[in-house]
Structure 1
Amino acid sequence: MQQLDHQFIDNRWVPSAGQRRLPVTNPYSEEVIAEVTVGDPADVDSAVAAARRALPAWRARSGAERAAYLEGFAEALTRRRDELIRLSSTNNGKVLAEAGIDLDDAIACYRYYAHQARELDHRQGRLVELEMDGVEARCYHDPVGVAGLITPWNFPLVTSAWKLAPALAAGCTVVLKPSEVTPLPERTLAEIAIEVDLPAGVLNLLYGDGEGVGAPLASHPGVDKVSFTGSNRVGEAVMRAAAERTADVSLELGGKSPILVMEDADPEQAADWVMAGIYSNAGQICSATSRLLVHDAIAEPLYAALAERIDDLTLGDPLAEGTDMGPLTSARQRDVVRAYLAIAEREGLSAVRDSRHRRLPDSGFFVAPTLYRDVPTQSRLWREEIFGPVLCARSVASEEEAIRQANDSDFGLAATVVSGDAERARRIGRALQAGSVWINGEQLVLPETGWGGFKRSGIGRELGPWGLSAYLAVKHLVGPVPS
């Protein structure tokens, strides 16, 4: 069993100032595979101080120099691909295929922001068009400073890449707090920092929970920017802490995303996209399309197709070839989902498929893939994020009704539209209040396209040039034209 009792500060593993220890559990075997010492505010102070010392020299480097380090991260992750896929499956419960996709997405993100860092060199000092004789203005982009990055447990290496890569590309130094539930994959980032000879203090990694590390990091006066991905409850606390010193924040929070299936769609093809949108990663996806709005005309054939596919899912060991769905990542999350299933029973929801239709594996934090139909819009299962393999469905009579019900939500992270008419699907997509809308396909997230939501799904954008801008401050120099 691994003992994670050191923090990565200034390119060295140093003993943690904290005393509390937390177990790290394999969600399939339910065995404790590691123990992590929870950091405390003294560790945060040390890490932030290291990041501040490293900031002047790091921000002074060219974008091309910073890009070389990001390419180094991508290459090191590629060399460790097989090892990291198995580690992610063991710590997180992902099936091997999903863990492989996650890692490849992370690698692509580091490569993309290496390119963006080089482009940043060309953007510096560009002239701004002015209608004024004898005066010129030039635009510069400076790093915001020290960034505190707080990542979730459902996609550890991916979400850390979405934050760490643009922060480093912009010239920020960082303090990264992985989830205490899945600390093992992101430990590799510290090892890679040493391997590529990243300057000391540019990347600091702290193990701990919200009390010991997360809250002190979000409220630390030496942190200029906080980027958080996780629950609304914690995100709101991060925002309050940052507000006390007017620090910059980016928040990627909850979702209750709809998938709209129109009457001109092929039910069999639509069923495949519905399945991918809710049962991948055991439903533990912030963008999971957990609300199905299907036109009356094809509701019955779609429900039948979904029932057949749910029955065909293989639940089991995520390390075994052929497993379609692994366990939830923790016992706590399993219990959260079970509590919603109990609410569904009290509300009398109609289950097309649930635990009564399937025997679960003997070990592991499993929840049966579940589908409820004709779910009232006032149901808590329709309105609240469950973060598990639970799909709520209802039929609609028209396109207008589908759009109205899709937008009737506190969240607006993502959506999917399925229609036999691609132009119609795009028209519907433009009417939806969501940061990302997929048209006739699975949830394709690319480094080049922004990620973030409307309403309570968060503030700001990750990925694309917008992700880089989140770590940059715009500066203009205005004065007489040089003679």
Structure 2
Amino acid sequence: MLDVSSYAAGQWIAPGAGARTIASAITGDVIAHAGNDALDVQAMLSYARDTGGPALRKMTFHDRARMLKALAGYLNDGKQALYDLSYDTGATLSDHRIDVDGGIGTMMVFAAKGRREMPDAHVYLDGPPEQLGRGGQFFGRHICTPLQGVAVHINAFNFPVWGMLEKLAPTLLAGVPAIVKPATATCYVTEACVRMMLDSGLLPKGALQLVTGGLGDMLDHLDCQDAVAFTGSADTALKLRGNPRLMQNSVRFASEQDSLNASVLGPDATPGTPEFDLFVKEVQREMTAKAGQKCTAIRRIMVPNALIEPVIAAISERLGKIAIGDPRLESTGMGALVSASQKRDVLEKAATIGAEAERVFGNPDDFAVEGADRDKGAFLPPMLFHCADPDSAVRVHDTEAFGPVSTIMPYRDLPHAVQLLNKGKGSLVASVITNDGNVAREITLGAAAFHGRLYFNNRASMKEATGHGAPLPHMVHGGPGRAGGGEELGGIRGVMHYMQRTAVQGSPDILTAIGQQWVPGATEISDRAHPFTRTFDQLDLGETFNSPARTVTLDDIETFAHFTGDTFYAHMDDEAARANPFFPGRVAHGYLLLSFAAGLFVQPDPGPVLANTGLDNLRFMEPVAAGDSIKVRLSVKHKTPRNDDYGEVRWHVTLTNQNDKPVAEYELLTMNAY
């Protein structure tokens, strides 16, 4: 018997009053109890806000990204213990890998994105500065800073590790502490994962707390600096979203809920094509992985009318090869549902679907289970239904049996397929298996507004594609309407849910000080040695080098043209160039100007500058003709540490002509030693 504890205000609290029992999905035997109605939610919130929040906000984005990477590595080293616990949830080893390895991998992605896409600073800059005054001394800019409250994460039973880590990673990267509330049925796996993270010593005090059992009245004490992220049923989401305190204080609420996800077989994907076989494989996998208990699982299968029978036969054949049984057995292809109550719910929903569709595979009253008692465990077979008239059907489009249940239905043409897709009233994902780009485009234009993700796969991508049901941390996970209207993951987009976007306005110097990125017009430091002779640490924002002028000659233009092979008429034919509305006659190549610019600002001796790694945001503003001169202003715009040996310096480069008019502008990237 496991005592599944909560971690509240720095203490582990054992189950107590109001504790709930948890049964094994395999045997039906009680294996744990969890919950304590006496948790002091006010103390938990204060511990997060007053201890965890300040500690996290003191760290930079890069500090927090390094923390996530270390946490992920620590969990990876101990993941076998999480595997061993997870079998009693009914999941197979393959299912564990989706949950545990997927969660760890998600944390690693956010760690990497935090280092690559966010600054080593405390303020995230959302877009470039906007010049608001004519004289160049009044600017505006959008910035993002961490909320100064707590994130309450309410998670579903099906992914006790991934479901927690996919919310926790962007929350901690933003600099916000979290209180995690897993579903009771599988909370013993979540508790083990939380213990590992706390034991690692990598998290600041107050950064992570855990509630096993009920939240009590915690939501009644949240304010405008807090956030709630929920995964579960639409009914529960509606109840939570309607909390008067959440509405009164405009508490951020993100929901990922019921979804009638669908998969469409393109009209080109006929039997014998790679796409047909791929489609059948994807449907079978999504019906049986985690025993169909996935928010992204395929619930509706849409097939050209002429292919209904071949598809039913092919899917049924693959489903018939799946061994159902004790998930510890290597031969088991599908384990049990999470609980007896979940099994009952799926059977009730399947009966509702059965009123509009015929069951063509899977009899819940007659199927074999290997290595376990079918009646004591929460086992069901995969069940495939056929709805011959999806236009008049209602329940097949609004009833989600959260288990190994899916319904196949015919479509006449692509507009009809789109119409059926959108009958889901908002879904997390729809997949389309096709090798025809026009099919993909038509479905995208018709159905994208109803879906959070569209997944296309065919012979070209099938070896690399991750699958219909795999939300990736790089892409948003959520959907409109019935699916909840939220967006999780999505790289840095997911981090923004836990930050406040603020418009700041002021002089270039003020904006430079706030964002730690030099804004044109701010104070320049030009009385020092050449900046290329100074180490990363020695350089200051706004440190500027002004070059002497160089005259561009006709011989320069012709030599560059013949040397590079770029003999475009604007550089070689004066009459043709004058006929062009952009040029006064023959002009210098833009890349010639960049080359000359480098020659004007580069310090040639060995020094701290290790490499030029590229340039961004290049634009040419004014043509340069023979006889014109150019000079360069090179300013330190931003600095980002990369490792123990060097950091990246972003330079703002402006080329001006003899009349001080800008002719080109860009950002130069160099790696500089410390």
Shorter-chain TM-score: which interval? over 0.9
Cα deviation, residue 15, structure 1:
4.7
- Counterpart mapping for 1:164-203 below 5 A: 164-187=168-191, 188-203=193-208
After superposition, give the CA deviation of every residue in 1:264-295 in whole Å (9 maximum; x if it has no partner): 11433321111122222111111111111100
Q: Percent identity at matched positions?
A: 27
CA distance in 1, matches of 2:396, 2:356: 12
CA distance in 2, matches of 1:37, 1:234: 19
Match of residue 274, structure 1, among 267, 283, 286: 283
After superposition, give the CA deviation of every residue in 1:369-398 in whole Å (9 maximum; x if it has no partner): 111112544242342111111111111111
Report SS of the residue matched to 1:338.
Answer: helix
Q: Decide whether the 8 Å contact of 1:9 with 1:201 is kept in 2.
A: no
Q: Which moved more, 1:111-120 or 1:402-411?
A: 111-120
Match of residue 143, structure 1, among 132, 141, 146: 146
Cα deviation, residue 416, structure 1:
0.8
CA distance in 1, matches of 2:300, 2:337: 20
Cα deviation, residue 255, structure 1:
0.2
Residue of structure 2 in register with 1:66 after alignment = 64
Residue of structure 2 in register with 1:306 after alignment = 315
Match of residue 33, structure 1, among 31, 34, 52: 31
Residue of structure 1 in register with 2:367 after alignment = 359
Residue of structure 2 in register with 1:2 after alignment = 2
Q: Decide whether the 8 Å contact of 1:412 with 1:453 is kept in 2.
A: yes
CA distance in 1, matches of 2:249, 2:404: 39
Match of residue 432, structure 2, among 408, 411, 417: 417
Q: Which moved more, 1:217-226 or 1:155-164?
A: 217-226
Match of residue 163, structure 1, among 160, 164, 167: 167
Q: Decide whether the 8 Å contact of 1:231 with 1:253 is kept in 2.
A: yes
Report SS of the residue matched to 1:24.
Answer: strand
Q: Decide whether the 8 Å contact of 2:233 with 2:258 is kept in 1.
A: yes
Q: Which moved more, 1:127-136 or 1:196-205?
A: 127-136
Residue of structure 1 in register with 2:666 after alignment = none
After superposition, give the CA deviation of every residue in 1:181-201 in whole Å (9 maximum; x if it has no partner): 111121122331231342211
Unmatched tracts of structure 2, length 5 or more:
510-522, 524-674
CA distance in 1, matches of 2:430, 2:202: 41
Cα distance change on mapping 1:425 and 1:322 into 2, 3 Å? farther
Whether 1:255 aligns to 2:259 is: yes
After superposition, give the CA deviation of every residue in 1:429-461 in whole Å (9 maximum; x if it has no partner): 343221111112622322111111011211331
Cα distance change on mapping 1:423 and 1:94 into 2, 3 Å? farther
Cα distance change on mapping 1:125 and 1:114 into 2, 3 Å? closer
Q: Decide whether the 8 Å contact of 1:169 with 1:468 is kept in 2.
A: yes
User: Whose helix proportion is higher, 1 or 2?
Assistant: 1
Match of residue 211, structure 2, among 203, 206, 209: 206
- Structure 1 runs (4+) greater than 6 angstroms displaced: none
Match of residue 315, structure 1, among 321, 324, 327: 324
CA distance in 2, matches of 1:7, 1:344: 39
The residue type equivalent to 1:27 in the other structure is A
Q: Which moved more, 1:185-194 or 1:125-134?
A: 125-134
Match of residue 471, structure 2, among 416, 434, 445: 445
After superposition, give the CA deviation of every residue in 1:40-90 in whole Å (9 maximum; x if it has no partner): 5x4322211110112123212111221222112201111112221222222
Cα deviation, residue 314, structure 1:
0.6
The residue type equivalent to 1:400 in the other structure is P
Q: Which moved more, 1:417-426 or 1:193-202?
A: 417-426
Whether 1:108 aligns to 2:105 is: yes
The residue type equivalent to 1:129 in the other structure is E
The residue type equivalent to 2:476 in the other structure is G
The residue type equivalent to 1:34 in the other structure is A
CA distance in 1, matches of 2:109, 2:232: 24
Residue of structure 2 in register with 1:238 after alignment = 240
Residue of structure 1 in register with 2:336 after alignment = 327
Whether 1:479 aligns to 2:506 is: yes
CA distance in 1, matches of 2:478, 2:78: 29
The structure having more radius of gyration, on CA atoms, is 2
Match of residue 152, structure 1, among 151, 156, 162: 156
Report SS of the residue matched to 2:478.
Answer: coil
The residue type equivalent to 2:25 in the other structure is P
After superposition, give the CA deviation of every residue in 1:174-227 in whole Å (9 maximum; x if it has no partner): 111111111112112233123134221111111113xxx1x6233323571001
Q: Which moved more, 1:403-412 or 1:302-311?
A: 403-412
Q: How many equivalent residue pairs? A: 474
Cα deviation, residue 160, structure 1:
0.6
Q: Which moved more, 1:119-128 or 1:372-381?
A: 119-128
CA distance in 2, matches of 1:320, 1:371: 25
Q: Decide whether the 8 Å contact of 1:11 with 1:203 is kept in 2.
A: no
Residue of structure 1 in register with 2:420 after alignment = 405
Residue of structure 2 in register with 1:264 after alignment = 268
Q: Decide whether the 8 Å contact of 1:125 with 1:138 is kept in 2.
A: no
Q: Decide whether the 8 Å contact of 2:75 with 2:196 is kept in 1.
A: no
CA distance in 2, matches of 1:427, 1:264: 14
Task: Tell me the TM-score normalized by structure 1.
Answer: 0.92
Report SS of the residue matched to 1:461.
Answer: strand
The residue type equivalent to 1:261 in the other structure is L
Report SS of the residue matched to 1:438.
Answer: strand
The residue type equivalent to 2:477 in the other structure is W
Match of residue 358, structure 2, among 350, 371, 374: 350
Q: Decide whether the 8 Å contact of 1:23 with 1:36 is kept in 2.
A: yes
CA distance in 1, matches of 2:388, 2:174: 46
Report SS of the residue matched to 2:264.
Answer: strand
CA distance in 2, matches of 1:481, 1:3: 58
Cα distance change on mapping 1:28 and 1:325 into 2, 3 Å? same
Report SS of the residue matched to 1:251.
Answer: strand
CA distance in 1, matches of 2:114, 2:435: 41
Q: Decide whether the 8 Å contact of 1:10 with 1:200 is kept in 2.
A: no
CA distance in 2, matches of 1:207, 1:76: 23
Cα distance change on mapping 1:424 and 1:138 into 2, 3 Å? same
Residue of structure 1 in register with 2:131 after alignment = 130
Report SS of the residue matched to 1:447.
Answer: coil
Question: Aligned-residue CA RMSD in angstroms?
Answer: 2.1
Task: Tell me the TM-score normalized by structure 2.
Answer: 0.67
Q: Which moved more, 1:101-110 or 1:307-316?
A: 101-110
Residue of structure 2 in register with 1:384 after alignment = 399
Residue of structure 2 in register with 1:373 after alignment = 386
CA distance in 1, matches of 2:326, 2:73: 29
Between 1 and 2, higher relative CO (CA 8 Å, sep ≥ 6) is seen in 1
Residue of structure 2 in register with 1:97 after alignment = 94
Q: Decide whether the 8 Å contact of 2:62 with 2:120 is kept in 1.
A: no
Report SS of the residue matched to 2:119.
Answer: helix
Q: Decide whether the 8 Å contact of 1:295 with 1:398 is kept in 2.
A: yes
Whether 1:465 aligns to 2:492 is: yes
Q: Decide whether the 8 Å contact of 1:44 with 1:206 is kept in 2.
A: no
Report SS of the residue matched to 2:242.
Answer: helix
